[in-house]
Amino acid sequence: MSGSRFGCVVDLPHPPEVLFRYLADPRNRPEWQSSLMSVRLDDVDAEPHVGMCWNETTVVGLRAAMAITELVPYRVLAESARTGGIDGTLVLRFKARPGGCRIEVEGEMAGRGPLRYVAAAAARLAGRVAASDLRRAGRVLSTRGPGG
C-alpha cells in the first residue's frame, strides 16, 4: 500500500499481557474506540487469531471490513481495514516497561481515485485519535482492577 502514514506512542499502567488480550478482541472495541457504534463477528465465540474478520459500524454510519493480519501474543497486533474506497493498516507493538507497557502504533491509509485525498486527511488525524483511544482503553482497564 502506498498511502499516508501515521503513528503515535502511548505509555499505559498495565502489563502487556492485559493490554494485548483486551485490545486484540474486537468485541471490546466499542468500549474504547471512540468512533465505533458496533462490531459484528460471524463467530462470536472465537478467540482472536490471524485471519479473524469482523465488521465495524462507526458513529457516522461508515462500515468497515476488518481482519487480523498478525498476532504475536503480548508483542504485536496488526490488522487491515477496508471501507468504501479506502484501505488501511494498523500495527500495535507492545513493549514492557517499568510500571506498565508502551504501545507503539504505526498505520497507513490509502484511497483510490479522489478518495486518496480523504485518506490523507484522515491519516493526519489518526495518530492523535489512536493515542486518545488507547488512553481510553487504559482507563477502562483501570476500572476493572489488576487483571483487567
CATH number at residue 71: 3.30.530.20
What is the pLDDT at residue 61?
83
pLDDT above 70 as % of the chain: 97
pTM of the model as a whole: 0.94
Q: Is residue 88 part of a domain?
A: yes
What nine digits make up the cell of 140? 477502562
Q: Is residue 147 part of a domain?
A: no
Q: Is residue 103 part of a domain?
A: yes
What is the pLDDT at residue 147?
62
Q: Is residue 60 part of a domain?
A: yes
Q: Is residue 47 part of a domain?
A: yes
Q: How would residue 62 be classed by pLDDT, with cut points 50, 70 and 90?
A: confident
Cα 108 to Cα 123: distance, rounded to the nearest angstrom: 7
Rounded to 5°, the CA angle 9-39-125 comes to 35
- Name the more confident of 148 and 51: 51
Number of domains the chain is built from: 1
Q: pLDDT tens digit string along 74-125?
A: 999 999 999 989 999 999 999 999 999 999 999 999 999 999 999 999 999 9
What nine digits make up the cell of 80? 487491515
Q: Is residue 148 part of a domain?
A: no
Provide the residue range defining the domain that includes 129: 4-142
Give backbone dihedrals phi and psi of 127, rounded to 5 degrees, phi first.
-60, -45
Q: Is residue 39 part of a domain?
A: yes
What is the pLDDT at residue 63?
94
DSSP one-letter string for 17-66: HHHHHHHH-GGGHHHH-TTEEEEEESSTTPPP-TT-EEEEEETTS-EEEE
Q: Is residue 115 part of a domain?
A: yes
